[in-house]
Amino acid sequence: MFAMLAPAPLAAQAISASEADALRAQIAALKAQVDRLEARLDKAPAAVAASGSTAPAVAPPAAPTQVAQAAPAKAPDNTIIGWKGGPVFTRGAASFHVKGRIQYDAGLLMTPQSVTDRSKGYSNELRRLRLGGEGQLGGGFGYKLEVELSDNSVDLVDTYITYEKGKWLLTLGNQNGFQSLDELISDTAGSVMERAAFTDAFGFERRLGLSAQYRSGILLAQAGIFSDSADSLTNASDGANGGDENNSYGVDSRLVLAPKLGKTQLHFGVSGHWRDFQRLSENPQRYRQRPYLHSSNSRFLATPNIPADGESHYGVEFGGERGPLWWAGEAHWLRVSRPGLSDPTFFGGYGEVGYVLTGESRGYKNGIFGIVKPDRPVGSGGWGALQATVRYDYLDMNDKDIVGGTQNGVIAALVWTPVEFLRFNVNYAHLAYTDAAILAGGRSNYGVDVVAWRAELDF
At position 267, the amino acid (one-letter code) is: H
Domain definitions of the chain by residue range: 74-458
The single-letter DSSP state of residue 151 is: T
| First vs last C-alpha separation in the chain | 58
Cα angle 64, 65, 66 (rounded to 5 degrees) comes to: 130
Question: Is there a contact between 397 and 287 (Cβ–Cβ < 8 Å)?
Answer: yes
Question: Is there a contact between 395 and 289 (Cβ–Cβ < 8 Å)?
Answer: yes
pTM above 0.95, yes or no: no
pLDDT tens-digit series, residues 307-322: 999 999 999 999 999 9
Give the model's pLDDT for residue 37.
66
Nearest CA among 1, 5, 4, 12 for reference residue 26: 5
Task: Classify domain 74-458 at the CATH class level.
Answer: mainly beta
What are the distances in angstroms from CA 92 to CA 137, 166, 356, 387?
Answer: 9, 20, 39, 39
Which residues touch 182 (CB under 8 Å, ≥6 apart)?
Answer: 190, 195, 196, 199, 328, 330, 350
What CA–CA distance (Å, rounded) separates 304 from 435? 12
Question: Is there a contact between 354 and 191 (Cβ–Cβ < 8 Å)?
Answer: yes
Give the model's pLDDT for residue 20.
65
DSSP 332-356: EEEEEE-TTSPPPEEEEEEEEEEEE
DSSP 67-118: -SSPPPEE-TTS-EEEESSSEEEEETTEEEEEEEEEEEEEEEEE--TT---T
Give the model's pLDDT for residue 78.
67
The single-letter DSSP state of residue 31 is: H
Give the model's pLDDT for residue 11.
38
Low-confidence residues of the chain: pLDDT under 50: 1-13, 46-51, 53-69
Question: Is there a contact between 347 and 332 (Cβ–Cβ < 8 Å)?
Answer: yes
Pairing type for strands 87-91 and 260-261 reads unpaired
Give the model's pLDDT for residue 239.
75
Which residues touch 340 (CB under 8 Å, ≥6 apart)?
Answer: none
Given 3-state DSSP classes, what are the helix, strand and coil percentages for the chain, each rounded to the nearest 5? 15, 50, 35
Question: Is there a contact between 101 and 129 (Cβ–Cβ < 8 Å)?
Answer: yes
Give the model's pLDDT for residue 26.
72
Phi, psi of 74 (to 5 degrees): -115, 125
What CA–CA distance (Å, rounded) separates 173 from 98? 19
Question: Is there a contact between 203 and 287 (Cβ–Cβ < 8 Å)?
Answer: yes
CB atoms inside a 10 Å sphere around CB 147: 15
What are the distances in angstroms from CA 152 to CA 126, 149, 457?
Answer: 10, 7, 20
Give the model's pLDDT for residue 25.
72
